[in-house]
Structure 1
Amino acid sequence: MQDQMRDQPSGDSPDTATGAPPPLGRYYEVGGRRLLLHRSGTGSPAVVFLPGGGAVGLDYWNVQERAAELTTSVIYDRTGTGWSDRTDAPLTCAEVTDELRDLLRTADIPAPYLLVGHSLGGLYARLYATRFPNEVAGLVLMDTDHEDYDAYMPRQLTEMRGAWDPDQELPDELPEEAVALYRGLFAQMMADWPEEIRDSLIERHVSPEWIMDGYELVPYRDRFLDEMRRTGPLPDVPLIVLTAMDIDDFKKAVLIGESESLLAEEIDGKRRLHDALAASVRRGENRLVDGAGHASIHWRRPDAVLQAIQDLLGR
């Protein structure tokens, strides 16, 4: 294993949910906002993880640390998430990619990058590669969202989800049993993590502010997808898409009446979409990942994520 460079805890935090500092990382100022970033390892290209909606950089610590045995490995909280500063409304996709680019430069992490995007983070990773192709060595997209997602889904499912309004359906405060459910799920996923990381993450994930982070993105999803439709085609960069083939407990916790048959159709549609996405570039591949669902792919199958990273680094 190579010598590792590691960020130390910053010692302060803008997290209004608890007021406690993050267990790892340091702050960098970008665009007048403080953003948390943690790096480990040395080497190039750097692996950079882009969290999904409702997730934070440290959620990917288990894979990030293993990737750090291979090269520089980076996790961060974009504006409005985790321990980073917040804004009144989510950033546009272009603003997120500009912010990430500026953050990596400020933190002295030079291009090229192997971007690892999960769910919503997959949109941002693709847009970064489209806007700055010379800075991207490859893409790993974990169960990524896509502007054509609904076109591959059963009509009944898209109608059900389109009619769901979190402002109307969600209570002002989640009941204790819901908080306990989330606490248990996160504890299960991070059971073998260091206590100082696991406990800090769980407490924040069950705080009202962090719980609402993911739901507050729902009204903006169509805007994000429209923005992606207006971008150019994905450049011919090495690409591995990871498609989660199971339904995990996180998914079951937020069901709005979808039947098992509809969810099975969703997985099949997602597989077909990801096949098409992988086929859109010369060096693309879609890998089906059993034993994990959409939210838990990096927790349940870190081996599949790390293997994809290793394979792209090897190219």
Structure 2
Amino acid sequence: MTDRALAAFDALAGGAATRRELDRGGRALRWIEAGAGPSVLLEAGAMSPVVGYAAVFRELVADFRVIAYDRAGYGASDPAPLSLDLQVDDLIAVLEEVGPAVVVGHSWGGLLAQLATWSRPDLVSGLVLLDPSHETFWRDAEPEPHPDRTRPPADDPRAKDVLTFSDELAADISRSVKAKTHLLTEACRSCLQTDDQLFTYLDELPMILDHVDELAARRTRGVWPKIPIVVLTATKGRPAEFTPQVIAVQDSLAAQSGARHQVVPDSGHYLHIDRPDLVAECIQEVASGTS
């Protein structure tokens, strides 16, 4: 089978991208890597492919070793029963292989990056958190049912919305790069080709909501290392009544971690798609230790 994500990233890297993998007890975690220099690991949000970082990847590859990482069940990585420990431990395992690294995390990926940092601060040289998730946002959320794995995932009533959202996101990613459009579209589609991939998309939010109390407990126990951190908060398209709360939560995160917090009014939630230039600048800032 053609590795469509590798083909897209390879084109953006001028033919220098490679696929690497790590054995996790008989299942493979896979990532795409290109460039030389300080290591930067890109972690996507829930129900989002790492291909979404394509424009940022292109900005960075001349100056950094860039690692575009697929969580278990996403992209080219083998599936596994989802749990909080699995996702944190997998990220740490990849960082043990490629790190220390600046970790760039979007949304749920931003919270996973924090959890990994508290567990293994020696592996994280800096953080860039893009509209990071916070357990406070889910405190009053209704539980989401886990998908029924005895039936095809396409039968799940949420599947159609997931597939529609994925197509819309693919179009946004292609527009953000303004090049290699066909390759990027095909790369995004390849992330939802199998039942296991769709099950992962459907199961991730229910898994997260199962762990809200545990996330709060880990934050309470977490100790922040003295590393450069930037937090970006997007406000475009967010309901006005929620914006002050979101900014306040991220202000608190910045105060606790010693981060620089920047509100970005001209970007929606997908900062790495809407403002890849700003995200790349923040990565440069953190990598140079000046945030």
TM-score bracket, normalised by the shorter chain, equals 0.7 to 0.9
Task: Give the deviation of 1:179 after TM superposition.
Answer: 5.1
Shift of 1:267: 2.2
CA-to-aligned-CA distance 1:30-74 (integer Å, 9 cap, x gap): 221112211111122x11111111112222122123222222111
1:86 pairs, out of 48, 68, 79, with 79
- Partner amino acid, structure 1, of 2:222: P
TM-score normalized with structure 1 length: 0.74
Shift of 1:220: 1.5
2:16 equivalent to 1:32: no
2:253 maps to: 277
Residue correspondence of structure 1 range 162-173 to structure 2 within 5 A: 162=142, 171=157
Answering whether residue 290 of structure 2 is matched by residue 301 of structure 1, we say: no
Distance in 1 of aligned mates of 2:100 and 2:53: 20
Between the aligned partners of 2:103 and 2:264, the Cα distance in structure 1 is: 19
Give the TM-score taking structure 2 as reference length: 0.79
Displacement, 1:167? 6.3
Cα distance change on mapping 1:104 and 1:137 into 2, 3 Å: closer
Of 171, 184, 187 in structure 1, the residue corresponding to residue 171 of structure 2 is 187
Q: Kindly tell me: are residues 126 and 62 of structure 1, through their superposed partners in 2, closer, same or farther at Cα, counting changes over 3 Å? A: same
Identity of aligned residues (%): 26
The number of aligned residues is: 265
Q: Give the equivalent residue in structure 1 for 2:152.
A: none
1:73 partner letter: V
Highest RCO, 1 vs 2 (Cα 8 Å, sep ≥ 6)? 2
- Contact 2:40–2:104 at 8 Å: present in 1 too? yes
Residue 233 (structure 1) aligned with residue 213 (structure 2): no
SS at match of 1:202: helix
Correspondence for 1:97 among 84, 88, 97: 88
Deviation at 1:290, TM superposition (A): 2.2
Give the alignment of 1:94-243 within 5 angstroms.
Answer: 94-106=85-97, 109=98, 111-150=99-138, 158=140, 161-162=141-142, 171=157, 174=160, 182-191=166-175, 192-195=178-181, 197-204=183-190, 207=193, 209=195, 210=197, 213-231=200-218, 232-235=221-224, 236-243=226-233
Corresponding position: 1:246 with 2:232: no
Match of 1:145, SS?
coil
Residues 112 and 268 of structure 1, relative CA distance in 2, 3 Å threshold:
same
Q: In structure 1, what residue type is equivalent to 2:241?
A: E
Do the aligned partners of 1:48 and 1:74 also contact (CA within 8 Å) in 2? yes
Q: Which runs of 5+ in 1 are unaligned?
A: 1-18, 152-157, 249-262
1:20 and 1:243 mapped to 2: Cα distance? 36
* Structure label with greater radius of gyration: 1
Change (3 A) 1:97 1:182: closer
**Alignment gaps of 5+ in structure 2:** 7-18, 149-154
* 2:171 aligned partner, one-letter code: A
